[in-house]
Amino acid sequence: MSDLEQFLRGRIWLREHTPFPKEQVDAAIANGDITIKQGISTDKQCMRCLEQSPLKIIPFDCAKCEATCYYCRQCLQMRRISSCTELLVWRNPSSWQPALPSFDWQGKLTDKQKRASEEVAESIALRRPHLVYAVCGAGKTELLFPGIHEALQKGQRVCLAAPRTDVVLELSPRLRAAFPATVTHTLYGGSPEQEGLAQLVIATTHQLYRFEEAFDVVIVDEADAFPYTVDPALACAVEKARKPGAPIIYVSATPTKRLLKTIPNRSEIFSRYHGFPLPVPVYRPLWGYKKQLAAGKVPEKLKKWLQEKVNAGEPFLLFLPTIQLIDETVQLFKEVVPGIEAVHAEDPGRKEKVMQLREQKVPGLVCSTILERGITIANVQIAIVGADEALFDHAALIQISGRAGRSADFPDGEVVFFHNGISLEMDRARQLIRSYNKGGDRR
């Protein structure tokens, strides 16, 4: 198989940004291996992300073709697509026999994981959608391995998509270790170029814009997470990236009502892999905390909580509702706990800071909801300040609480909701956690 086919197969790619000599691309177009699609179709739909809202497909005076062109705002961050842009699609796939996968995973599934794992593999084999509804710390990734392995054995292409780069970076080494003989690509904004035709792709949902009818199986991890739920275009990207009729496996600890309603095939795991119950959040009022912080004072109750954790040598995460509040107060918190660091979405050093917390080089982090998912730190203690703020819906509160007690050595971390009044979402989160601990979902 040519390197050009390896690159383009299953993708939809900008002609002007294809890393191959022009003559090679031209020859493949001339002999019909590649067809060209107009970037924005004549009925004003983006051919990469399928956007067609007039709010996103915008006319402009194009210098290149000296006429009025349209460009797509929805997928702008992956280089601009306009009416006169050419997209390449590979049309003549040659026969392909990927290397037989070796499955190198020594861990053991619990009985519940094992049953879910078999159900997932069955849905993949029968090409039907499936939902894995499993609490934080249930061991969701591992139970996907056998189904992925079966698909790889059949020579199928598998994609594991997650909404955030952090989650992709966390999953990628685990999958590469489990399937060492399989050509695997890890794709996110700014990821390095990777060789060969990937049989296994681990990608942010955004990256799926660049694929078309590529995958025999698509697994969507954290299926309820921002930005997947608020951005229907991303759901559309998943649709476009799979082959017609290919199964989609949704994985979530806090599935939306819509997912629960629309996916009848479901595996549920409401206990953690280590068998200990989920930590139940404790409510503590922190009246007028905003005023106190604004006046340069850390409220006494919060100060006491922080000092307790430091004295016990326990790492902690302190969630605050806004980035602005984090920026304004980090200095105050440093006076109470020297060495404390702050982390939010725009912080390029956040990976290192989380690593430092894990290695106990910093005592704790003040953070935004960016750390609500995908991180595991042994013995971590959790506090949310302003748990009643609208930003903390029940799914966010459950995810944040799910950071505690993940390790079998420290299964019962503390989770404190500091609040200015108890919200319905706080109660909903706590009720759900309690019901999981009783073994079932009571929505």
Contacts to Zn ion by CB under 5 A: 46, 48-49, 51, 62, 64-65, 69, 72, 74-75, 84
Check: CB of residue 249 under 8 Å from CB of residue 129.
yes
Nearer CB in complex with Zn ion: 207/252: 207
Write the DSSP string, 134-152.
Answer: E-TTS-HHHHHHHHHHHHH
Nearer CB in complex with Zn ion: 11/351: 11
Query: Min. distance of Cβ 441 from Zn ion in angstroms?
Result: 38
Query: Min. distance of Cβ 59 from Zn ion in angstroms?
Result: 11
Write the DSSP string, 196-259.
Answer: S--SEEEEEGGGGGGBSS-BSEEEETTTT-TTTTT-HHHHHHHHHHBPTT--EEEEESS--HHH
Query: Min. distance of Cβ 223 from Zn ion in angstroms?
Result: 22
Residue tagged 């598998």 (tokens): 158
Query: Min. distance of Cβ 434 from Zn ion in angstroms?
Result: 44
Nearer CB in complex with Zn ion: 46/200: 46
Check: CB of residue 298 under 8 Å from CB of residue 291.
no
b/e 349-369 (16+ beta carbons within 10 angstroms → b): ebeebbebbeeeebbbbbbbb
| Cα dihedral: 25, 28, 33, 38 (round 10) | 50
b/e 123-140 (16+ beta carbons within 10 angstroms → b): bbeeeebbbbbbbbbbbb
3-state class of 171 per DSSP? helix
Query: Min. distance of Cβ 165 from Zn ion in angstroms?
Result: 20
Query: Min. distance of Cβ 66 from Zn ion in angstroms?
Result: 8
CA-atom Rg of the chain in angstroms: 24
Amino acid identity of 224?
D
Nearer CB in complex with Zn ion: 38/292: 38
Nearer CB in complex with Zn ion: 42/95: 42
Nearer CB in complex with Zn ion: 69/263: 69
Query: Min. distance of Cβ 69 from Zn ion in angstroms?
Result: 3
Nearer CB in complex with Zn ion: 74/381: 74
Check: CB of residue 144 under 8 Å from CB of residue 285.
no
Q: What are phi and psi of 34, to 5 degrees?
A: -115, 135
Nearer CB in complex with Zn ion: 183/236: 236
Check: CB of residue 134 under 8 Å from CB of residue 255.
no
Query: Min. distance of Cβ 206 from Zn ion in angstroms?
Result: 11
